[in-house]
Structures are given as structure tokens and as C-alpha cells.
Amino acid sequence: MNETRMLIGGQLVDAEGGASFDNVNPATEEVIGPVADGTRADMARAVGAAREAFDTTGWARDHEARKSGLLQLQAAIEAEQEELRAELVAEAGAPLLLTYGPQLDAPLREALTWPAEMIDAFPWRRALPVKNAFGTGDAEREVWKEPIGVVAVIVPWNFPMEILLNKLGPVLAMGNTCVVKPAPDTPHTAARLGRLVAEHTDIPPGVVNIVTAQDHEVGEVLSTSPAVDMVAFTGSTATGRRIMAAAAATVKPVFLELGGKSANIVLDDADLEATLAGAAGCCMHGGQGCAISTRLLVPRSRYEDAVELARASFENWAYGDPTDPSVLQGPQISARQRDRVLGYIDQGRAEGARVVVGGGRPDHLPRGYYVEPTLFADVDNTMTIAREEIFGPVLCIIGYEDDDDAVRIANDSSYGLSGTITSGDVERAKDVARKIRTGTLGLNGAIWYGPDAPFGGYKGSGIGRQCGIEGLEIFTETKTVGWPAAPTT
């Protein structure tokens, strides 16, 4: 059964006035079921509950309560892991296979437990040298880290559980309370999490609140409310800008995980055949991943070989029904997103890029918001399809002259989220990596991902890092305290 209620102040509740909206399966276009359609008043009540829980309970100081709360939540999710898996496939169009990896099982393994383990290990106090700054006597000095307070957690639909768990773990471990706003396209998994918090954990009422809403604007309450101390957002760069501007009025810190247009750089000493056998991998989950490398940079001298190898990869790529365990690409999340992707494909053609594979809607999948895996050649880095985040199963192949040219093209982007580099010599790949302005890079097929690995972007890809020590520290405030040093005898 899908959970339809929201979690506010420890209670599972309907929306004010009882309004609901339908959650739709993007693979079938059928209604999965209703879910509460929270209003601004519901969001304000959730903020009030989070504020009260932060100000009046011992949560912020109680390490043991936080550790056990996180571990109870972990156990509760594991107990409903299969229901959650089916729900993710249904509402996000997430290929089943991906739920055994990045969509669910991978984050579930450590996203809550690693921050729980770090609660005691985190450097909450740091002593500074005793100092006599003004000639008025020695002072003992310490730097204290404290929870930041009420954190707004605003998440997108593409990896709804992965992103939510990787925010919730650090936010709660650091002693904060929160209001979660899931995307309207994936409300049921978040609502389920709310029920698990309420019914299967001792996390105090108000520490976690989850408000589902169809209208994006309901989320604005979070960036403008003086009772919210920080906004932690994952989503598009356009929305990130709006949130940052709205948060400026109350001078709250924002932590933004935004879009990407990452480069997959294949150096001229790489095994081109082996590397490009996986070229269509960028179509995973319909290309709806912010860290996917969507610009394939290959040596100009081997350009046509690269196009043919990538063509073979795209032609052999299985896509379709996300419940089919052999596919890695399901539908786009909505008709709107599908049409947006198709619009970019048209623009690519109009600007002179060559469609090598795909380029439209698949005839054999008349239901569901599918787009063909699409490979573009003859792409210049100035074209719209090379500059803007398409968030679809679309790869652009761009030729480069030498390593410096590859670096120049990779960095010639308003984004700076991720990327990959392949070389016959990993030291050469590292040399190139040092010059790439992005927050993460995978060299020679290695995967950097983990709850201990900071993830986030340079430039337009965001501010701050999720996960790792940096991802714990970001949810803290810093207080410097001095007191008279004991007289030395």
C-alpha cells in the first residue's frame, strides 16, 4: 500500500482541507494512487514543528538518541525494502536493475549508518592555543561545532531515495531537525519514509517532517521562513538560483546540488574499443542523472572510429519497461520532460549536429514517456546540446586536438559537476584530472561514490558538498569560545 499521508510534528496527517493529487507511473501513464497535496499552511506547520523540536528537545545534544534513531530508521527501511523497490520503479520509472545499485541498495547500505558512526568521531571541539590578545590575561579558547538548526531538505525525482537518504543521514547525525519536500513526481517513497520514522523509530516528533505537494511553489515557504536556518537543495540550476535569491532575505546558508554537463574524456592512448563499448551507459535511467557524462570527448584523429564504436554501443542498448531486469533505461519522468528532451534533439539537428542513432520517440513503446537513446556526432561545444543539461538519453561526440584542447573543451561549460577520463596511463589521467574544474572525476572506470566521498559541483553545479566529512560539517555552525586560563603556578 502506498502511504498517502504527510508527517508533521510526529503525526501522519492529510493535507489541510483534505486535498490530494495523483502520482503517475511514467512507464504506463497510469495513476499509481493519490497522495496528500500539502499547502503553504501545511509547510508552515511543518517548519513550526521542526523549530519546536530543535529548540525544546535534547535532540541537538543527544548523540545516543541520534545514533539509535538513524539505526532504527535503517532497520525499518530494510524491513520494507522490497515494497520501496517496487514503489521506486513505479513512480520514478527507475529500471529495476538500478534499484539494486544506486537507486536504493547502494545508499541504503551506508547513507544512514556512516553518518551514525561518525557522530562520536566528528571533531565537535577543537582547542586553540592559549592566547593573551589584548594584554588582559591569558584566555583558553575552543572552537565548538553545533547543529545549524532547522534544515529544509528539498529533493528532486530522479534518484529520490538516494538523494533523500544522503541528506537525511548527515542532517540528523549532526543534530538538526528538518522539513523534507520531495518532488511532486515521486511523493510516495518519501511519504513511506515519513511513516517509517513515525511508526518504527524513537526519533522525537517534529525532528523529521515530510510535506508532499503538487505545486512547486509550496517549497518557497522553506527558503523564505525566518524559522528555517538552512536550505539543502538538490535540483535544477534554475530552481537553485531562485532558492538562493529567496534565502537571501533571511541570510540563510544554502547548500545547492545542481545540474551538470560533464565530459567523458578519452585520451589518445586509451583502448578506444573497450572504452566505447560502454558509450550508451550515459542513457542509464533515461540520462536523468546529474553526474552522467553527456559530452564524449575523443581525439580528432580517431573521430570516425569513435563514432562507429559508440554507434554499436547505442544500437545494442536495451531500453524499455523498467520492471524488465535486463534494461537500464526506462522512461523519462513525465510527458513534459520527454518533450523537453525531444526539443533539444530538434535543436541539435537544427544547429547542424548529425543524428547517428535514435532521435525521436520509439515506435514500439507507444505508452510511457520514452525517448530513443540518441547519439549525436559532429557536435561543436558551442551548440546548445553541448552547453545545456538535457537530462535525457542523449550523447554528444566532440573531437579534440590534444590533451590541452580536451581540457579546454571540458572546462568550457557553465557547469562543473563530474566527469570521467580514460587513459592507458593512470598518471596521465591524473594530470588531466588536476586541470578539470569539477567536483568529482572517475579515472579509468573507477567509481568514487560513497557516503564518505564528498559530492558536489564547481561553478553553476552548486555550492557545498554532500557526503564525506565536508557533508557533515556543512550542517553545523561554528562557535568560538574563550574563558580565563587557569593561573599558572
| Contact residues: ligand NAD, CB under 6 A | 154-159, 163, 181-184, 216-217, 219-220, 222-223, 234-236, 239, 242-243, 257-260, 290, 389, 391, 417, 457, 462
Among candidate residues 316, 312, 387, the one with its CA nearest the CA of residue 348: 387
- Tell me the three cell numbers of residue 56: 525544546
* Burial readout 46-81 (b: 16 or more C-beta within 10 A, e: otherwise): bbbbbbbbbeebebbeeeebbbebbebbbebbeeee
Say if residues 89 and 100 touch (Cβ distance below 8 Å): no
How many separate helices (H) and strands (E) can be counted in the chain?
17, 20
Closest separation in Å from C-beta 299 to ligand NAD: 28
Between 156 and 206, whose beta carbon lies closer to ligand NAD?
A: 156
Dihedral of CA 376/371/389/292: which sign?
negative
Between 156 and 468, whose beta carbon lies closer to ligand NAD?
A: 156
Closest separation in Å from C-beta 381 to ligand NAD: 19
- Tell me the three cell numbers of residue 64: 545516543
Closest separation in Å from C-beta 246 to ligand NAD: 7
Report the C-alpha dihedral over residues 446, 379, 290, 273, rounded to 10 degrees.
-20
Classified as helix, coil or strand, 179 is strand
Say if residues 149 and 230 touch (Cβ distance below 8 Å): yes
Which residues are marked as active site? 257, 290
Among candidate residues 275, 362, 349, the one with its CA nearest the CA of residue 313: 275
Closest separation in Å from C-beta 280 to ligand NAD: 20
Closest separation in Å from C-beta 179 to ligand NAD: 11
Say if residues 297 and 266 touch (Cβ distance below 8 Å): yes
Closest separation in Å from C-beta 321 to ligand NAD: 23
Between 331 and 399, whose beta carbon lies closer to ligand NAD?
A: 331
Q: How far apart are CA 431 and CA 428, in angstroms?
A: 5
Closest separation in Å from C-beta 38 to ligand NAD: 11
Between 76 and 150, whose beta carbon lies closer to ligand NAD?
A: 150
Closest separation in Å from C-beta 221 to ligand NAD: 8
What is the side-by-side order of every strand in the sheet holding 139-147?
125-131, 139-147, 476-484
User: Which amino acid, 157?
Assistant: W
Between 216 and 408, whose beta carbon lies closer to ligand NAD?
A: 216
Q: Taking the chain, what is the end-to-end CA distance rounded to the nearest angstrom?
A: 71
Between 158 and 423, whose beta carbon lies closer to ligand NAD?
A: 158
Q: How far apart are CA 94 and CA 321, in angstroms?
A: 10
In this structure, what are the phi and psi dihedrals at residue 230, rounded to the nearest 5 degrees? -160, 150
Between 124 and 449, whose beta carbon lies closer to ligand NAD?
A: 449
Question: What is the H or E stretch that residue 275 is in?
Answer: helix 272-276
Between 59 and 455, whose beta carbon lies closer to ligand NAD?
A: 455
Classified as helix, coil or strand, 268 is coil
